[in-house]
Amino acid sequence: MLPLDLLADLPEPSDDEPSSLRADIADELADHLQCAFRREVLKDGDAAAAQRRALDRFGDPKQLARRLWRQAMWSRIMRQRIVSGLQWMVAVTAMLISGAVFWQQSQLLAELRHARQEDAAERQALTAKLDRLELPTATAGMPVYPSSPSGPPPTYEYSATPVGSEPTPGAYASTPQSEMESPPGPSEYGQLPLSRPALLTLSFVQETEDGPPVSPRSVSLTSSDGGEHIEERSSLIALNTNVPPRIEYPNGRTAAGAEGVYRIKSVFRSLEPDLYQLRIELDDGQWSERLVSIRDEKPQELTIVCPGPRTKKAPVSMSIKPLPDWMQKKRFEIEVEVRAAPIEIGQAKWATSSLPTQSIRFDARTGLPVAISAMTTRGSPELDLRDLPAEERRVFLPVGAVAYRFEVNERPVEVRPVRVYQWPESSLAEDGFRHVIEAHDNTWELELPQEFLEEVARDVRASEPPPSDPLPAAAADPAHEGVLPAQPVSAPDVSKQLRILDQLQGRWMVIDGRAMMQGGNVVANKNEYAGMSFFFHGNTAFSAKGLERGDPLPFSIDVTKNPMWIDLDAMKGTFRLENDSLTICFGIERPPGLDLAQGIQAERYVLKRAVLHDEPDKRAEPAEQRPDPLAQRKLEGAWIPLASPEGRTQVQGVSIEAGTIIIAGDRATRGDGKVECKIAVNGATLPWRIDIGSSALLSIYNPDDPSEEEPLEGIVRLEGDTLTMCLAPAGQRPAKFDEENFPVFVFKRKAQP
Amino acid sequence: MDSRLLWGVVEMLILEAISHGPTYGYEIAQGVMSESNGYFELKEGSLYPALHRLEEQKYLLSSWQEVDGRRRKYYRLSASGKKALETKKAAWRAFAKGVEGVLGAQLTTS
């Protein structure tokens, strides 16, 4: 049945046609027709009628086969058409562009040809004019032109200039013909176009116009179109002796062995009238650039005064003045970049490229340099100074004017990009080296400008991450290398390490302390641990009790261990940190866990984070109040109370004497002489911070029971003769003058008798 | 019936017919006619282009089997075909409900 050629109406096969497409279509339709035929045959058994009915119902199978083929090929046909169309468009576009370029080039060639013709005509006319002129007589210092058109090519000479009659820059030389250097032959000088006799002769002297001659390493002249002019020759000319002049070429300049006074001259000739940039580089790397104007027929002779050699260096002891506490934290690094400052001679500036910029990094806490690096051809190796005593941490700087600038780097790594603050801000025009200081064998104490500090502080506050945000400040800080474990750790471990390290920072109050003694007894001496705190500051930690504080000891942690490890100086320990709770167990040998174990002498502390109120950066509580003699001195004197927290003024409950406090150095005494304690003022913060050893100093604070004395921490403001203090118990230093929550005292300075 | 409406319905009916299991063109046409009590008689000229289009749209997957010495192309629904069928059915039901609602209301008011 159905011996039909279903594919008879299909187009010829194309290359991109799937190989089975035609067979698939034919088989599918044939199967359908066969099914229909069988069904129809079952109706009456007449095969011919069944076939007819099946085909009638189906329609034209060839047409359907063609439709299905087109449907399958549609996307390919359309793609082919689009590609053909695009190819055609590209070809047409390329032809159009080629035509346009060809037309433009033809126009340019025509213009060039025309210009050349005009130029040739002009030259011809000028030559004819010159031929009619008389031969000029040789005038001192003036160009001498050969007369014969058939003679040697036109050249001119320049003259040596005697000392004492040195021409002013830009003027003609005026040496008599007899003293002139023998004119070299034309073959030596070459040709010069008659219409462009411009000549530039340069003399180089050191420090003053009467100074000794200098031989620059290189002299170059660049025209406004960027074309560099070659120094044709340089001469070493005797000025006041009979020694015949020696001619030296740029690569072989030397004055050695010559007698008398010489001027070293560089000669540029064949200069088109233009504004040129002249660059001179000396042997020691100093260089200068200036503009020189060359006009038609105006030979110029310039004397260039060069600076003396700058090769001497002097040791300079540098330090940074005390920085505010928030900057003394681990995340900041102070850097001072230093380079030789340009020297000005007249209106010309001489910079130096041979003295590289040196970078000196400072410890923000001590203000001392910790490392020096200088850019060299082999990179910028860093010299670690931390092992040297403070007085030996010197920087060798070029003697003379030195320019410097500050840089403050915030050193979080991994998590955030490093923030860099520069002072002054560098820009393309000015690279920030605008402060100049004289370097000799001396000592500098640099101070970061207050407005710069404020700017950094503002920015840091604005970008302060939320407390849960890891603050991996110590990772890249060489000053805190010990904080991270020595062995390599993975990135997540580093992140955890830094997070834990950051969480440790600040003050922790001891709420329980026990020790495993040699005999196996556990001792819990409450009196000893009561009021005791631990401070973690950067990579140092120390204990404190009242105003007594232990020496800061370096510590390191390893968070990859379980429980985590902490090493405090020679002590080895384990620790657990859960929110505001910290448990530490340590001894000479590392305890196996967090609990005291028999046979292992160790101490175990349970600590709670000291809560600060509204501190701008709670973890930034300074671990120590560095003595600030300057600020402390400003508070010296007798202070009469004006107002107390309870609103009492002057003598309400206490006498003026009892309410008055007298500050002298780091001691403060109550007016009645019954109480004396230490005070510490830190003027590097805003507001200033004050620690007072005993609350009994301020009798009005608790006049009825002075025995309940305790150390106070607070902030202080000095405005003229008015002193305002906002105080709180130790560990709760207020961040601002908050009368709502903290007692605020106002004092007036007692006039001197 | 509107041809545009019918166009979408044909595809939905084909997908529904195939959703019961792998089947081939003739059986699909017979099944639709049978299930619709002879209302929808899918002409071969509509059926096969629709099948091929649905296959091109990845709603259908196909395979060949040998039956009685002939090659037969079987279709089955792909995952996206199943989703498309569900979408079309939901749209149709909403459409029919809307139409029925309007017609029912008119009947009630008239």
Residue A151 reports pLDDT greater than 70 = no
Q: Does B74 touch chain A (CB under 8 A)?
A: no
Write the burial class of residue A261 (CB in 10 Å: 0-12 exposed, 13-18 middle, 19+ buried).
middle
Least confident residue range of A330-334, A609-613, B70-74, B95-99? A609-613
Q: How far is Cα A652 from Cα A647, in angstroms, rounded to an integer?
A: 9
Q: Does B52 touch chain A (CB under 8 A)?
A: yes
Q: Are A596 and A522 in contact (CB under 8 A)?
A: yes
**Buried/exposed code over A330-339 (b: 16+ C-beta within 10 A; e: otherwise):** bbbbbbbbbb
**B25 vs A59: CB contact, 8 Å cut-off?**
no
Least confident residue range of A174-183, A577-586, B24-33? A174-183
Residue A574 reports pLDDT greater than 80 = yes
Coil, helix or strand at residue A189: helix
Residue type at A106?
A: S
Length of chain B: 110
Residue A684 is predicted with a pLDDT of: 72
Residue A390 is predicted with a pLDDT of: 79
Coil, helix or strand at residue A253: coil
Residues in chain B with CB shorter than 8 Å from the CB of A29 are 44, 48
Q: Which of A145, A277, A304 is nearest to A221 (CA)?
A: A277
Q: Averaged over A149-173, what is the pLDDT?
A: 32
Confidence class for position A602, pLDDT limits 50, 70, 90 = confident
Q: Which of A316, A426, A425, A323 is nearest to A360 (CA)?
A: A316
- Residue B44: closest CA among chain A residues belongs to which residue? A58
- Residue A23: closest CA among chain B residues belongs to which residue? B71
- Residue B45: closest CA among chain A residues belongs to which residue? A64
3-state SS of A194-213 is CCCCCEEEEEEEECCCCCCE
Q: What is the DSSP string of A466-521?
A: PTTS----STT-GGGGGGS-SS---HHHHHHHHHHHHHH-EEEEEEEEEEE-TTS-
What single DSSP character describes residue A463?
Answer: T
Q: Does B69 touch chain A (CB under 8 A)?
A: no
Q: Does B73 touch chain A (CB under 8 A)?
A: yes
Residue A422 reports pLDDT greater than 80 = no
Q: Which residue, among B44, B57, B58, would best test binding to A if mutated, counting the most A CBs under 10 Å from its CB? A: B44
**A59 vs B44: CB contact, 8 Å cut-off?**
yes
Q: Does B53 touch chain A (CB under 8 A)?
A: yes
Q: Averaged over A658-680, what is the pLDDT?
A: 82
Candidate from A36, A58, A68 with C-beta closest to B49? A68
Residues in chain B with CB shorter than 8 Å from the CB of A36 are 26
Q: Give residue-wise pLDDT tens across range A707-749.
A: 556 788 889 888 888 888 888 888 888 888 877 777 788 888 8
Q: How far is Cα A26 from Cα A409, in angstroms, rounded to an integer?
A: 78
Residue A590 is predicted with a pLDDT of: 87
**B44 vs A30: CB contact, 8 Å cut-off?**
no
Could you tell me where the DSSP H helices lie in A597-667? 629-634, 656-659
∠ CA(A650), CA(A653), CA(A659), 5° rounding? 45
A33 to chain B nearest CA, in Å? 8
**A31 vs B25: CB contact, 8 Å cut-off?**
yes
B97 to chain A nearest CA, in Å? 35
Write the burial class of residue A254 (CB in 10 Å: 0-12 exposed, 13-18 middle, 19+ buried).
exposed
Residues in chain A with CB shorter than 8 Å from the CB of B58 are none
Sequence-distant (6+) residues with CB within 8 A of A181 are A157, A158, A159, A160, A235, A237, A245
Coil, helix or strand at residue B103: helix
Q: How far is Cα A496 from Cα A502, in angstroms, rounded to an integer?
A: 10
Candidate from B43, B45, B73 with C-beta closest to A28? B73
Residue type at B84?
A: A
Q: How far is Cα A114 from Cα A124, in angstroms, rounded to an integer?
A: 16
Which of A80-94, A532-546, A673-687 ranks highest by mean pLDDT? Answer: A80-94
Confidence class for position A465, pLDDT limits 50, 70, 90 = low
CA distances from A245 to A65, A190, A255 (A): 105, 20, 11
Beta bridge partners of B77: B60
Q: How many CB pairs under 8 A join A and B?
A: 48
Q: Does A67 touch chain B (CB under 8 A)?
A: yes
Q: Does A185 touch chain B (CB under 8 A)?
A: no
Which of A146-150, A310-314, B66-70 ranks highest by mean pLDDT? Answer: B66-70
Coil, helix or strand at residue A413: coil
Candidate from B45, B72, B73 with C-beta closest to A64? B45
Confidence class for position A191, pLDDT limits 50, 70, 90 = very low
Q: Give residue-wise pLDDT tens across range A250-296.
A: 444 444 434 444 556 777 777 777 788 888 888 788 889 888 887 76
Q: Does B41 touch chain A (CB under 8 A)?
A: no
- Residue A609 phi, psi (nearest 5): -65, 130
Sequence-distant (6+) residues with CB within 8 A of A486 are none
∠ CA(A2), CA(A72), CA(B31), 5° rounding? 55
Q: Does B44 touch chain A (CB under 8 A)?
A: yes
Residue A296 is predicted with a pLDDT of: 67
Candidate from A24, A30, A57 with C-beta closest to B70? A30
Residue A268 is predicted with a pLDDT of: 77
Q: Does A36 touch chain B (CB under 8 A)?
A: yes
Q: Averaged over A574-593, what is the pLDDT?
A: 89
Residue A182 is predicted with a pLDDT of: 32
Residue A693 reports pLDDT greater than 70 = yes
Write the burial class of residue A746 (CB in 10 Å: 0-12 exposed, 13-18 middle, 19+ buried).
middle
Least confident residue range of A16-20, A684-688, A701-705, B13-17? A701-705
A83 to chain B nearest CA, in Å? 22
Residue A405 reports pLDDT greater than 60 = yes
Candidate from A30, A35, A64 with C-beta closest to B48? A64
Q: Which of A219, A174, A202 is nearest to A267 (CA)?
A: A202
Q: Which residue has the higher pLDDT, A550 or A368?
A: A368
Q: Is the peptide bond before A153 cis (omega within 30 degrees of 0)?
A: no
Q: What is the DSSP string of A104-149?
A: HHHHHHHHHHHHHHHHHHHHHHHHHHHHHSPPPP--TTS------T
**A32 vs B25: CB contact, 8 Å cut-off?**
yes
Q: Does B49 touch chain A (CB under 8 A)?
A: yes
Q: How far is Cα A726 from Cα A692, in angstroms, rounded to an integer?
A: 11
Residue A176 reports pLDDT greater than 50 = no
E strand or H helix at A63: helix A61-132
Q: Does A78 touch chain B (CB under 8 A)?
A: no
**B26 vs A72: CB contact, 8 Å cut-off?**
no
Residues in chain A with CB shorter than 8 Å from the CB of B64 are 24, 27
CA dihedral A136, A139, A145, A150 (to 10 degrees): 60
pLDDT above 70: percentage of residues in chain B: 88
Tokens of A478: 């060489």
Q: Which of B26, B37, B88, B16 is nearest to A40 (CA)?
A: B26
Q: Are A61 and A4 in contact (CB under 8 A)?
A: yes
Tokens of A490: 């993975």
Half-sphere exposure of A583 (CA within 13 A, CB side): 10
Length of chain A: 753
Least confident residue range of A6-10, A171-175, A262-266? A171-175
Residue B75 is predicted with a pLDDT of: 95
Q: How far is Cα A526 from Cα A518, in angstroms, rounded to an integer?
A: 19
Confidence class for position A142, pLDDT limits 50, 70, 90 = very low
Q: Which of A471, A506, A465, A484 is nearest to A607 (CA)?
A: A506
Residue A648 reports pLDDT greater than 70 = no
Q: Give residue-wise pLDDT tens across range A508-541.
A: 888 888 888 777 777 777 777 777 888 887 777 8
Q: Does B48 touch chain A (CB under 8 A)?
A: yes
Candidate from B44, B49, B52 with C-beta closest to A58? B44
Residues in chain B with CB shorter than 8 Å from the CB of A27 are 64, 70-73
Q: Which of A435, A433, A405, A436 is nearest to A421 (CA)?
A: A405
- pLDDT, chain A, mean: 72
Report the DSSP pairing between strands A661-664 and A382-384: unpaired
**B45 vs A31: CB contact, 8 Å cut-off?**
no
Candidate from B26, B52, B71 with C-beta closest to A35? B26
Residues in chain A with CB shorter than 8 Å from the CB of B31 are none
Least confident residue range of A1-5, A231-235, A438-442? A231-235
∠ CA(A58), CA(A64), CA(A70), 5° rounding? 165
Tokens of A90: 């590209």
Q: Which residue has the higher pLDDT, A666 or A485?
A: A666
Q: Does B43 touch chain A (CB under 8 A)?
A: yes
CA distances from A323 to A328, A587, A599, A696 (A): 7, 36, 47, 31
Q: What is the DSSP string of A533-597?
A: EEEEETTEEEEEETTEEPPPEEEEEETTSSSEEEEETTEEEEEEEETTEEEEEEESSPPSSSS--
Residue B4 is predicted with a pLDDT of: 58
Q: How far is Cα A609 from Cα A565, in angstroms, rounded to an integer?
A: 19
Residues in chain B with CB shorter than 8 Å from the CB of A58 are 44
Our measurement of the distance from residue B84's CA atom to the centroid of its chain's CA atoms, rounded to an integer in Å, reads: 11
Q: Averaged over A698-702, what is the pLDDT?
A: 58
Q: Give residue-wise pLDDT tens across range B13-48.
A: 999 999 999 999 999 999 999 888 888 888 888 899
Q: How far is Cα B73 from Cα A613, in angstroms, rounded to an integer?
A: 80
E strand or H helix at A281: strand A274-281
Q: What is the DSSP string of A348-412?
A: EEEEESSS--EEEEE-TTT--EEEEEE-BTTB--EEE-TTS-GGG-EEEEESEEEEEEEEEEE--
Q: Which residue has the higher pLDDT, A307 or A665?
A: A307
pTM comes to 0.34
B95 to chain A nearest CA, in Å? 30
B103 to chain A nearest CA, in Å? 36
Half-sphere exposure of A252 (CA within 13 A, CB side): 5
Q: Does A84 touch chain B (CB under 8 A)?
A: no
**A31 vs B70: CB contact, 8 Å cut-off?**
yes
Q: Are A198 and A301 in contact (CB under 8 A)?
A: no
Residues in chain B with CB shorter than 8 Å from the CB of A35 are 26-27
Q: Which of A367, A618, A362, A294 is nearest to A471 (CA)?
A: A618
Residue B13 is predicted with a pLDDT of: 92
Query: Angle, nearest 10°, between helix axes B3-19 and B25-35?
Result: 110
Sequence-distant (6+) residues with CB within 8 A of A63 are A9
B83 to chain A nearest CA, in Å? 24
Least confident residue range of A429-438, A586-595, B32-41? A429-438
Report the DSSP pairing between strands A442-446 and A313-320: parallel
